[in-house]
Structures are given as structure tokens and as C-alpha cells.
Amino acid sequence: MHKRWIIKATPSTAEIHQLASSINVSLPVASLLMKRGIGDFDEAKNFFRPNLSHLHSPLLMKDMNKAVSRVLLAIEQHQKILFFGDYDVDGTTAVAMMFSFFRDELKYDNIGFYVPDRYTEGYGISFQGIDYAVQNGFQLIISLDCGIKSPDKVAYAASHGIDFIICDHHLPDENDLPQAIAILNPKQSGCNYPYKELSGCGVGFKLLQALSVKFQVSHEKLFAYLDLVAVSTCSDIVPLTGENRVLVYFGLQIINTKPRPGIDAIRKFASLERDFTVEDVVFIIGPRINAAGRIQHGEGAVKLLLSLPEDPEISTLLQQLNDNNTARRELDKKITDQALLMIEENEIFQQASSHVLFHPEWHKGVVGIVASRVIEKHYKPTIILTESNGKATGSARSVKGFDVHAAIEACADLLENYGGHMHAAGVTLSLENVERFRQRFDQVVNQTWPAELRVPEIEIDEEITLEQITPNFYKVISQFAPFGPGNMDPVFLIRNLVANQWTRVVGENHLKMYVFHLHRPDLTFGAIAFKQGQHFQRIAAGAEFHVVCNIRQNVWNGKTTLELDVKDIRFDDLADLSYK
């Protein structure tokens, strides 16, 4: 698939020189920093040296005082509190965090937790969950990563004498907010909290931060919960900017030094010989926690995360999660192959601006993953639907720059339920409306998705030469981590490379090269271009080429070298290279 190469506009030379001089870095590093909005010494210091003092006061969040007061009342009257969380990573980590904080720090034991069944109850607050609370005498529910779209369920709970505190980060419907005792959601109108992009678990952590002040819980004990916040923040693909970057920076430290037993069990299972990164959390920890809710029940993940060091069930719970993850991968591949074949065999689907694919027997637990896989092959907004409880239900995933939630909202009259954000959403509709919805959604996408965004792009941070890649240069840019949305690993353009005779195709069509500039044949870097073996013949014949890449550190047989992780290769004159 052809990709557009877009390079971030370079700040003025004078500004770059001034910043480079003030913080003693090279000009390319200063340029990289300025393109991330860092323009002076103090901003650079905060960026390179995150500090927990940079976290905002939780009391700045709308309704926080109301939430704290209601929790205090519950504890004073020894009321039963239920922590109700979604079945994905964000919800289950939030439930585990809240439950263990009350159990271990507040020494409050009149608590319980509830995770809805993905298949019988669906996403978010459920009537079945409220009935469970009624039957078991709960008087306060604290919802985590859900609730903002459930005014009917909150009203149902109130009719049974149960109060709600909602901790959510999804976009609210300002015209139909739940009548809860408190709504903690920085995205709601009237909330002056400075940072709007917290995960659901992150919002829950702000409540714990406020409670820590009231109950005089030390910072050391409070911040021990940041491993769970980091797992949720990384796995929910929220921006790693501002407060999220601080939370993840310190959360990763806990994961790598003193994680809770459940996370430690997953970490040790992976057997990595280095510290975990954001990428490791996303691809090793997150999928195992998620797999519980996808294949069996999210309760299994919560139990593992709540495990105490002496708990004999840790190995059993971990094995269940690993087995679930293996089953999830098999389902993922099978259904992805079916979805791609469905497109291949239908000319209408091929010509559409979007993909809305439905099969009544597809596994509900992997439809979101499959949507992402389809986008990797066909770069279009995609919704994968299956049948559940007599309805069509599924997940949407978007492409860069397109608001899939807004497109779904434009079809609201055809839906029974929907929710999410710009990049991902969930929908439920009647079976008879599937085809009408497919046509309407495609019409909306076609009208609102600009032509220039329909070709996938690679955003380039900086153009460099091989001579500029030094150990010190890598050391500095590695301190830009943790990397994630809003603070991605720097992407570099390197022009006019050739490869030596050791170039070869390895593994599943991966191109392994040793590259250099013709004017510096003595300076050679290893490079790996995953899934790009199609370029082998041309490069092996001596053609010059250009790459966009990340810089990686490779350790082999005790020797550390720097290599290029190549994202794309082109042989043309880059006349269409654009700047923004």
C-alpha cells in the first residue's frame, strides 16, 4: 500500500540554535523537541525529568468534592460499596486498583466488585449488574470506565436506593447525563480539570488521590498503584502527553521494580531480559488481561490483579489468561481471514468508502481486533458486527484524522446504542437495520472523509544522515520515552542509501540489510524492514533508496549496536514529500 510521507515543518534556525544552546543538545534533538511543543529550558526539564509533583490536584475535577463526601459517608455508616467496571483492560485494572486500595490502604472490607459479561450483558452498566447490587445489599456503586452513557441504569439503581459515583472518560451526552451523586469525567462541560485525556482507570486514580488526602495515605502507598494506571493508559491507547506521560513514566518503574503479584506473574512469564516498555505493556500484559473478558469473563483478570503475594492461585489464574489469549489469537486470525475474503468477493464492499461487515457467528470478543486488522489491509473506517442476544453488535475502528464516533452519531436513528470516541466505538442495532446502517454509514464517511486523508501517511519528525546517528544521539532521544500517541518514537527520513551484499530476506518476508551512504562506505548500519521483502531484488541490484525509520538498540552476543527499524522504503525522487 502506497503511503504519503509528510515531514513536520522545521522551526526557525534561530529558535533551534537557541534551544540547543540553552539545554546543551544537538541541533536535530532541539528541532525534535520544538516540534513537540518544547521551546525553553523549563519545558525541556519537565519533559526529560517527569515528576509526580506535576500531577494536577484532583480537587480541580468537577464533582470531586461530592464524590469524596459520598465515600466518606459510606465508610462512616459502613455501607456496602460495589466497584463496577468494564470488562476490558481499562475497566478491570480500575476495579482492581479501587478494590485493593480500599482493602489494603483504607482497611475497609465492606466492598465487592462486578464486571459485566461481554456476551449476556454487553458494554457498561447493566440492569443485571444493578439487580446484583440490590440483591446483595450494596448502597453505593462506583463505576469505572463506564456509566456516562447509562442514565436509565443509574435511575434504576436510584429507585432501589443505590447511589452512583461515575468515573468515566468517554464522551458524554450533555443532554442526557446520568443523575448520579457525582460524575468524574474531565470531558464533561463545566469541568475545569486541566488534562482531558485520562484513561478510565486514570480518572479513578484521581478519586484515590483525593481520598488519600482525607485518610492521610502516604504518597508512597498511593503511587504504588501506578502500575495498574500505566497498564490501563498504555492499553487504552490514550495520548501519552501531559499527566498521562507522568503516570506512565512512574507506572513503568513500578512494573519493572515492584509490581503487584498478578502483573509480576505476567512479566516473568514473558522472560524479557530488559525493562518493560509501553510497547511491551500493550502487546504482552494488555492482551492477557483483555483476553479474560473476550473469551471467558473479565472477573478472572480482576482476581489475578487482586492476588496477594502468598496467594496459591496466581499460577492457575495466569494459566487461564494465557489459555484465553491463545484462543483469542486463533479466533482473531480465523475471523480476520473471513472478513478479508468477504471484501475480496464483493465488489460493492471493494468500492465503498468504509467497511461494515456482519456475520452472525463471529465471536463478539474479537470484533474490535478484527476491525483493526482489516484497516491494516484496507485503509478505511471499519465496523465489524456479529449477532448477540438477537441484536447486531460490534466495534468500530478509525483511520488517522477521521472521527468514527461522529460518523456513527450521524446514523443514531438506526441504532439502539452506541458510544466511544474519535478513534474507536461500539454499536448495537436491530438485525433488520444492518444493511441500512451500512449504506448510511458509508454515505457519511464518503461525504466527510477528505480525499487527501484517504492515503495512509507516515509522519516524519526529522531528516537526518547516518553520520548523525551516534550513541549520544540515541541516548538523548531514548529519554523522550515513554512513547505512545501524542509522543511517538521519533521517525526519521534518511535519503540516498545503498545496501551491501549481505542483504537478504528473513522470516516472513522481512528485509535484513546493512546500509550506508555512497560517500561513506565505511559507516554501515544494520536495518530491518518488516514485511518488505518485495524490495529485495531492486536493493540487491544496487539501487539507491530512501527510508523512514526509528532508531533501535540491538543487543546480540553481548554486543550493543544501533540499527534502523525501517517503516517504509521508496526509490523515487520524493517530489511529493510534503510538510506540515
Cβ atoms 436, 468 nearer than 8 A: no
Q: Provide the pLDDT for residue 392.
A: 96
Q: Provide the pLDDT for residue 92.
A: 96
Integer distance in angstroms from the first to the last C-alpha of the chain? 22
Mean pLDDT of the chain: 94
Distance CA 514, CA 80 (A): 64
Domains of the chain plus CATH, in order, are 58-322 (3.90.1640.30), 346-453 (3.10.310.30), 458-579 (2.40.50.460)
Q: Does the pLDDT value for residue 1 go beyond 70? A: no
147: left (phi over 0), alpha (psi -120 to 50) or beta: left
Q: Name 563's bridge partners.
A: 526, 552
Q: Does the pLDDT value for residue 303 go beyond 80? A: yes
Cβ atoms 474, 562 nearer than 8 A: yes
Mean pLDDT to the nearest integer, 147-176? 95
Q: Provide the pLDDT for residue 292.
A: 84
Residue pLDDT, tens place only, 217-227: 999 999 999 99
Cβ atoms 129, 72 nearer than 8 A: no
Identify which of 384, 429, 424 has the alpha carbon closest to the alpha carbon of residue 407: 424
Which phi and psi angles does 459 have, rounded to 5°?
-90, 125
Residue pLDDT, tens place only, 319-373: 988 898 888 899 999 999 999 999 999 999 999 999 999 999 999 889 999 999 9
Q: pLDDT confidence of 579, banded at 50, 70, 90?
A: confident
Distance CA 234, CA 426 (A): 20
Q: Does the pLDDT value for residue 148 go beyond 70? A: yes
Please write down the HEC assignment for all residues of 221-234: HHHCCHHHHHHHHH
Distance CA 10, CA 34 (A): 9
Of the candidate ranges 157-166, 298-307, 554-563, the one whose mean pLDDT is the lowest: 554-563
Q: Provide the pLDDT for residue 14.
A: 95
Q: Provide the pLDDT for residue 367.
A: 94
Residues in contact with 135: Cβ distance below 8 Å, sequence separation at least 6, in sequence order: none
382-388: strand order across its sheet = 355-358, 382-388, 391-397, 424-430, 417-420
Residue pLDDT, tens place only, 71-86: 999 999 999 999 999 9
Of the candidate ranges 219-233, 258-272, 343-357, 540-554, the one whose mean pLDDT is the lowest: 258-272
Q: Is 73 exposed, middle or buried (0-12, 13-18, 19+ CB in 10 A)?
A: middle
Measure the CA angle with vertex 308, ends 306 and 310; round to 5°.
Answer: 150
Specify the pairing of strand 510-517 against strand 520-529. antiparallel
Identify which of 535, 570, 533 has the alpha carbon closest to the alpha carbon of residue 549: 570
Measure the CA angle with vertex 413, ends 359 and 90; round to 5°.
Answer: 65
Distance CA 213, CA 153 (A): 31
Residue pLDDT, tens place only, 425-458: 999 999 999 999 999 999 999 999 998 889 999 9
